[in-house]
A = this chain, B = another copy of it.
Amino acid sequence: MSALTNAIELLRCFSTARPDLSFADVVAITGKPKSSTSRLLRSLRDCGLLEQDPHTRRYRPGLLTFELGRLHRAHDDLIGTAERELREVCARTGHTGYIAVLDGHEQVVLRIVPGSNPLRVVNPPGQRTSALATSNGRAMLARLSDQDIRARVPGTFPRLPRNAPQNFKQLMERLSEIRRTGVSEASDEAIEGVGSQGFALASGETGELIGIAVSYSVQATTAAERANVRRELAAMAGKLRRMTGDPLGQTGMPLRTGAGAR
């Protein structure tokens, strides 16, 4: 295990749930020896990847991560293009839009487009959640090979909220339905009372995969409104697939556009 690997393991202890950690926290989380952790934390601080509060002595991500984070895919056309389209849909429907990428069996929110409807934003950019319990997460997974999916999901299936798949078999059923219908939906899963619909978009050039979703309050939304969202998403998916050269846009596999689905 290289020094870099250890450093990364340490950096990965930080999350939105725990944006700052003490030395003891890190030792407890990683289980590494105190001496190694002490040295490594200092190195990371000295090089700018971490900062240390001079008063509490707690560590947090440093200036360098901020700078680099601002650079991340700043130039990326796929995400920018998708975001523009998503903004229009969100403006029309009033709902909240998300763009995320896959990382293993999890996803990370890249962009959020707040809707005009009052729905508390609980997933700011940078938020990491299970991709198994979201509409756009599953939409992304549905575009991978079964063996790739198998490799991404941990041996012991993660514990997920009630309406989400509870085991690998249920997951695969949801994914094959997405593959069949082109529609991915989640309701009352990752977040209580929130539903969403999403799809995955792949760049024809780079193969890069992103997930786009529109989310809304389940109880404040009628079936007709949800059907409207489905139409909006189908139109957006079609347009974006043409624009980005998504292979799925060319193999003639359309999103179901009628209101008949359910």
Q: Which residues of A contact B (CB under 8 A)?
A: 2-5, 7-8, 11-12, 14-16, 19-20, 43-44, 47-49, 51, 53-55, 60-75, 101, 103, 108, 110, 124-126, 128, 205-208
Contact = CB atoms under 8 A, between A and B. Distances in A.
Contacts of A51: 72-73
B66 A108 contact: yes
25 contacts: A2-B43, A4-B4, A4-B7, A4-B43, A5-B43, A7-B7, A8-B48, A8-B64, A14-B71, A16-B71, A19-B75, A48-B103, A54-B206, A60-B73, A63-B101, A63-B103, A66-B72, A66-B110, A67-B69, A68-B69, A69-B69, A69-B70, A70-B124, A70-B125, A71-B126
A176 B67 CA distance: 30
A55 to B, nearest CB: 5
A91 to B, nearest CB: 20
Question: Assembly of this chain: how many copies?
Answer: 2
A51 B72 CA distance: 9
A126 B71 CA distance: 8
A126 B67 contact: yes
A59 to B, nearest CB: 11
Contacts of A60: 71-73, 75
A137 to B, nearest CB: 15
Contacts of A19: 71, 74-75
Nearest to A47: B8
A4 B71 contact: no
Contacts of A103: 48, 63
Contacts of A62: 72
A68 B127 CA distance: 10
Contact of A205 (B16, B55, B74, B128): B55
